[in-house]
Structure 1
Amino acid sequence: MTPESDEFAAMEAALRGGHEPGVGGEAYITMDLALRVGELMLAGGETAESVDLAMSRITRSYGLPHCEGDVTLAAVGLSYLPRGGRPPVTAERRVRRRLPNYARLIAVEDLVRAATAKRLSLQQAKFALSDIIGRPPPYPHWLTVIALSSLAAAGAVLVGGGPLAAVAAFVATLVGDRTGAWLGGRGIAEFFQVAVAAGIGSLVMVLLAWSDVPVAAGPVIVGVVIALIPGRALVVSMQDGIAGDLVTGTTRLVEVLFMIAAILAGIGAVTYLAARLGVPVPLENLPQAPSSFGLAQWSGAAAIAVAFAVFHLVPRAYLLPAALGGVLSWGTLVEMRHLDLPAAPATAIAATVVGALGTAFARHRDVPALVCVTPCIAPLMPGTLMYRGMLELTGGHTGQGALILVEALATALAIGAGVYIGGELLRVVRPARRVLRPARRIRT
C-alpha cells in the first residue's frame, strides 16, 4: 500500500469517528460541552470575549489545546486541528433564544472554573451542565412580569412622579408587555412588539393629559421608556466593540438601535395622532433630573435596580448590592449635573464609577461582572431625553427634536462605554487573574 493510500485510510477512519488520539469520541464530547457552555453564556448576555475564553478553557482542560473559537451574536463555533496531518473537525451551535438568566450564567462560570481546576471529569462536567440547564429559574415567571412593570413605576417616581403616576406606569407597562408577549406568540417580530408596548404607554400618557385626573403625564411615559430600553444589550454591545470584537459588537449595537427606534416609533405615532385629534401633549413641565437627591429618588433608584435584577433572574444574594449600586449611579449622575455637565458626560462618569466598583465586587464574589453592574445602571437610562425629543418632533420642531434625540443616543452609548472604562480602570490597578480560583462545589 502506498503512503498516499495510508494517509487516505487514516483520514477515512477519522471521519468515521475512529479512536485515534485527538479525533475520537472524547474529542467530540469535549467540543460539544464547550459549544453548549458558549451557547448558554452568549444567550445569557455575556460578551464575546468571555464566551471565547470560557470555551477555550474547556477545550484545553479536556485535552484539545488547538481549538479555535468563533463567536458571533447568533452562533458559537469551534474548529479543532489535530496533530499528525489528520483532518480538522468543525462544529457550530446556533443561539436561537437570547433570554437573560444571570443565575444560570453564574452556574456556568462555576462549571468552567471547576473544569479548569481539574475538579470534574469530562463526564461529570457533561452531567453538571445538563443539571444547570434543567434547574428552575430563581423566580417564577409571574414575578419577572411584575418586576418589569415595577421598574416602570420606580422610573416614574425617579423623575418626579407621584403615587398615581407610578400606578399608571405600572399598568401601562404590564398591558404593553402582555400585549407584546401575545404578539410574539403569533410570530410578530420583536420590533413591533416593542413599538406596540411603547405605544400603549404613550396612550396612557395621552389619556391622562386629556382627562382632568391630577396626575403628571410625563413621568408615566418616561417610566415606560426606562423599562423598555435594552440596557443589558447596550452595555454588552459597547464592551464587545471596544474590546475589538467588532462584528459582534456592531451587530449588538444595531439591534439596540432598532429597539430604540421601535420605542420612538411607538411614542411618536401615538403622540402625533393625539395632536391631530386635538389632544396635544405640552412641552412644559416635562420630568427632569431632580435638583436634590430626596427620599423619593433614593427609593426610586434602588427599586429600579432591584426590579431590573429580578427581571434578569439575578440570585437573591445580589439584590441588596444591586439596590446600593442603583442609588450610587443615580447619586453620581445628579452630582455631575450639579456641576453643569451635559447629560452624556455626566452619565459616562456615573457609569464608570459603577463599572469599577461593580466589577471589583464581582471579582470578590467570583461571578460575571454583568451580574453586579448591569442592574445598577438601569436608573441612568435616558427616558426623559427620548420622550422630549419625540414631543419636539411631533410638535413640528424638527431640528430641536433631532438634536435632543442625538443627545439621548449619545447618553445611551455613554452608559455602555462608561461601564467598560470602569472595568478597564480596575484592571490597571488590579489585573484580572488568568488562573481561576478554586471552584465552588458543582452538583453532579
Structure 2
Amino acid sequence: MDQVDARPSTPDDEGPETDPEARLEAERAREVHLTMDLCLRIGEMLLSSGAGAADVTATMRSVADHLGLRSAEIDVTFTALSMSHQRSPDDVPTLMLRHVQQRDIDYQDLTAVDHLVRDILTDQADLYLARSRMATIVSLGHALPRWGVTVAWMVMAAAVGVFLGGGPVVSIVAAVAAALIDRVQIVLARRRLPFFYLQVAGGAIATLLAAAVAATPIEVDPSVVVTANIILLLAGIGLMGAVQDALTGFYLTSSARLIEAMMATAGIIAGVGLGISVAAGAGLELGQLVPGALGISDLPAVLGGAAVSAAAFSVASYAPRRAVLPIALITAVAALISQGISVAGFGRATAAGAAAFFIGLVAYAVAGRVRVPPLVVAVPAIVPFLPGLSIYRGLTFLAEGGAFTSQGILALMTAITVAIALASGVILGEYVAQPLKREARKLESRLAGPRLVGPFRAMTRAERRALRQTSDG
C-alpha cells in the first residue's frame, strides 16, 4: 500500500506558476524590461537623426519617469545608449544596451517619435500601445520613393547655384552633378565603403564634371557648379549636434561628432582637390569664385534660391510636407538678413551667425505650429549658408601654391569659423526663444542649453486630467 504524504502544503512548495507574489514579481520585471527597451529604441531613433545627446537623455528620462522607472540611469554616447534600473539597494540592477546602427537623417521618423513621446507623457498611449506604434514607425517605409530623393537633391543643387549667382546653365550642370553624386554614393554605400570615400567620390565627380563642361563651347562658370555641390555634400553633417553637445556638457559625444564631421569634410576636400589636380593636368581651368556685391535686381533670385534649396533639402530628408513651406519662408528671410549684414561691411561669419540666430529664434515657434521638432526646421534652413564657397576658394588657392598658400589656409579657416557661427547661432536663437519656466527647469535640471527635440516641459497631473476631459468631451 502506497504511503500518502498528509503534510499540509506551504507557500514554499508552490511553484512560480501558482505563487501570486512570484507572478507579480515576474510581471514587474517584464514591465521594467519592456519600458527600458522602449526608451532605448526612442533614444536610438533620436540620436541617429541628429538630435543632441542632451535632448536624447532628457527625452528618455521623461518617458522612463512617466512609465514608473524614476530611478533609471541613462548614458548616451555617439555610438551606444545604455540604461540601468535598480528598484532597491538590495536588488540586482537591470542593465540594457543598444548600439546605433545607422545615421541616416529621417525627419519623418523623428517627427513620428516626437509625437509618440508627447502622447506617452499625456497618457494618450500606454506602454504596450507605445511599443506597438514604435515598431510601426521603424518598419514602415516612406511615401516618397528613392528616385524622388534624387530629384530633391537635384533641385537643391540647382537652387544653390542660383543663390550663388549662377545662371540657368550653371543650375542644370549642378543638378546633373548632384544626380550622379547621389547615384554613385548609393552604389558605394551598398558595398559598405566608409562615408569618407563616398564624400571623396562626390567631390571628385562634381569637379570633373564641371571641368568637362567648361571644356566645351557651353558657357558656364565651373567654380559655381563645384561650390553648389560642395554645399550639397556638406548638408546633413552633424556639426550643429556636435556644438550643442559641447555646450550641454556631453564632451565625449561632441568630440566623436566633431571627428565625424571633420572626416566627412576632409573627404570633400580630398575629392575636390583630386578633381582640381586632374583638371589642371588636362589643361582645364576651373577659376576662382569671388563673392561680389549684389544689386537690388539680384536679390529676388538670391532669396528664391536660398528658399528653394532649404525646402528641397527638407524633402530629401523626408520632412513632413506641412513643414516645407515654412522652412522656405524662414530661409528667405534669413538670407535677406545675411545679405543686409554683408552689404553693411561685416564679414561672412558675422552674416552667417546673424542669419542662424534668426533661424533658431523663429524655429521654436514655427515648429510648434506645424507640429514638428525645431530640429526639422533649423537644420534645412541653414543649408544655403554652409561654407562651400570658402572651402572651394581655399582649395583653389592651395592648388596654385606659392604665395597663394597662406590665402588658401585663411579661406579654410574662414570655412571653419562660418560653420561654428551657424551652429552656435541656431542654438543661441533657440535658447532665447524657449521660455525658462519652472516646469522646464525641473525637466532640464541636467541640461545647460535649449531643447531641439522632445518635450519642453513635463505636464502635471492636473493638466493631464484636464486634457483627458477635453478630449472625452
TM-score (norm 1): 0.90
Instruction: Output the CA distance in 1 between the equivalents of 2:392 and 2:434.
Output: 37
Shift of 1:181: 1.4
**Which amino acid is the alignment partner of residue 213 of structure 2?**
L
Shift of 1:208: 2.8
Q: Which of the residues 413, 417, 423 maps onto 1:410?
A: 417
Q: Which of the residues 57, 66, 87 maps onto 1:61?
A: 66
Q: Which of the residues 82, 85, 109 maps onto 1:80?
A: 85
Does the alignment pair 1:322 with 2:327?
yes
Does the alignment pair 1:127 with 2:150?
no
The equivalent of 1:150 in structure 2 is 155
Does the Cα contact within 8 Å between 1:155 and 1:301 map onto a contact in 2? yes
Q: Kindly report which structure 2 residues correspond to 1:31-110, keeping only aligned pairs within 5 A, or say none.
A: 31-110=36-115
Does the alignment pair 1:379 with 2:391?
no
Are the structure 2 counterparts of residues 216 and 86 from structure 1 closer, same or farther at C-alpha, using a change threshold of 3 Å?
same
The equivalent of 2:263 in structure 1 is 258
**Which consecutive residues of structure 1, in runs of 5 or more, have no partner in the other structure?**
1-16
Q: Kindly report which structure 2 residues correspond to 1:36-435, keeping only aligned pairs within 5 A, or say none.
A: 36-231=41-236, 233-283=238-288, 286=290, 288=292, 290-292=294-296, 293-396=298-401, 397-427=404-434, 433-435=456-458
Instruction: Output the CA distance in 2 between the equivalents of 1:288 and 1:198.
Output: 24
Shift of 1:22: 9.1
**Which amino acid is the alignment partner of residue 312 of structure 1?**
S
Are the structure 2 counterparts of residues 127 and 42 from structure 1 closer, same or farther at C-alpha, using a change threshold of 3 Å?
same
Instruction: Output the CA distance in 2 between the equivalents of 1:328 and 1:338.
Output: 15
Instruction: Output the CA distance in 2 between the equivalents of 1:136 and 1:367.
Output: 19
Shift of 1:289: 6.7
Farther off after superposition, 390-399 or 364-373: 364-373
Instruction: Output the CA distance in 2 between the equivalents of 1:51 and 1:336.
Output: 35
Instruction: Output the CA distance in 2 between the equivalents of 1:314 and 1:288.
Output: 34
- Secondary structure class of the residue paired with 1:236: helix
Deviations 1:79-122 (A, max 9, x none): 11211510111111111111111121111111111111222221
Deviations 1:169-216 (A, max 9, x none): 011111122112111211211101111111000001212333331112
Instruction: Output the CA distance in 2 between the equivalents of 1:79 and 1:97.
Output: 23
- Secondary structure class of the residue paired with 2:69: coil
Are the structure 2 counterparts of residues 242 and 295 from structure 1 closer, same or farther at C-alpha, using a change threshold of 3 Å?
same
Shift of 1:138: 3.9
TM-score (norm 2): 0.85
Instruction: Output the CA distance in 1 between the equivalents of 2:293 and 2:204.
Output: 24
Does the Cα contact within 8 Å between 1:329 and 1:379 map onto a contact in 2? no
**Which amino acid is the alignment partner of residue 382 of structure 2?**
I
Does the Cα contact within 8 Å between 2:223 and 2:287 map onto a contact in 1? no
Are the structure 2 counterparts of residues 56 and 163 from structure 1 closer, same or farther at C-alpha, using a change threshold of 3 Å?
same
Does the Cα contact within 8 Å between 2:105 and 2:236 map onto a contact in 1? no
Instruction: Output the CA distance in 2 between the equivalents of 1:132 and 1:420.
Output: 28
Are the structure 2 counterparts of residues 382 and 290 from structure 1 closer, same or farther at C-alpha, using a change threshold of 3 Å?
farther
Instruction: Output the CA distance in 1 between the equivalents of 2:24 and 2:214.
Output: 73
Does the Cα contact within 8 Å between 1:79 and 1:88 map onto a contact in 2? yes
Does the Cα contact within 8 Å between 1:345 and 1:414 map onto a contact in 2? yes
Instruction: Output the CA distance in 2 between the equivalents of 1:172 and 1:298.
Output: 23
Instruction: Output the CA distance in 2 between the equivalents of 1:60 and 1:430.
Output: 20
- Secondary structure class of the residue paired with 2:55: helix
Are the structure 2 counterparts of residues 115 and 395 from structure 1 closer, same or farther at C-alpha, using a change threshold of 3 Å?
same
Shift of 1:253: 1.5
The equivalent of 2:9 in structure 1 is none
For this pair of structures, how many residues does the alignment match? 425
- Secondary structure class of the residue paired with 1:69: strand
Does the Cα contact within 8 Å between 1:289 and 1:334 map onto a contact in 2? no
Shift of 1:288: 4.7
The equivalent of 1:9 in structure 2 is none
Does the Cα contact within 8 Å between 2:222 and 2:287 map onto a contact in 1? no
Deviations 1:37-74 (A, max 9, x none): 11111112211111111111221122111111111111
Farther off after superposition, 145-154 or 128-137: 128-137
Instruction: Output the CA distance in 2 between the equivalents of 1:430 and 1:369.
Output: 18
Instruction: Output the CA distance in 1 between the equivalents of 2:236 and 2:35.
Output: 34
- Secondary structure class of the residue paired with 1:262: helix
**Which amino acid is the alignment partner of residue 155 of structure 1?**
V
Instruction: Output the CA distance in 2 between the equivalents of 1:53 and 1:360.
Output: 20
Farther off after superposition, 144-153 or 430-439: 430-439
**Which consecutive residues of structure 2, in runs of 5 or more, have no partner in the other structure?**
1-21, 441-455, 469-473
Shift of 1:427: 2.9
Does the Cα contact within 8 Å between 2:161 and 2:224 map onto a contact in 1? yes
- Secondary structure class of the residue paired with 2:165: coil
Farther off after superposition, 292-301 or 383-392: 292-301
Deviations 1:202-256 (A, max 9, x none): 0012123333311121211111011110445122111111122111122111111
Instruction: Output the CA distance in 2 between the equivalents of 1:78 and 1:215.
Output: 56
**Which structure is larger by alpha-carbon Rg, 1 or 2?**
2
Deviations 1:102-152 (A, max 9, x none): 121111111111111222221111112112223332422111111112211
